[in-house]
Structure 1
């Protein structure tokens, strides 16, 4: 069972809707193990966000099974505020303290 499930995700659990939902999923293992673990789910879109975080789009009816998948440590709604390094031009800023 997941250590953290966002309240908005909890509201969707148990749904039988085929409406698509996009989630950020924290997983305790590598990408290959995650793909194997969720292979039975009807995932429409899959993207690696970090070493152990994935953005997935799937039917609401599959959310409960995703949350119960061994190795899933967190499930959150994707609020479109997480960007991958490939999607941004991270240039150092003049005057930056870092």
Structure 2
């Protein structure tokens, strides 16, 4: 089961059909061109992003870290990751994204 952050970060391109896109991802259907941003499972990294269609794979879906953002296209996903990190540092003074999201 996928774990979604309640105050999801959303890129401009993904905002258009957001609820429909989220329903597709939850149902395990193809969401073409959509990337999800997650907290990193690797302690050496802060965030990760990958194509949402990878979540169609059962093993990948079961081990997916919490989804905190959604974007349309790789460039928008990179911009959204940068935005999340900038906001985290501006508000918390550190890059501890997980702690920042708990208090946001």
- TM value normalised by structure 2: 0.38
Higher share of residues assigned helix = 2
Larger radius of gyration: 1
Q: TM-score, normalised by structure 1?
A: 0.39
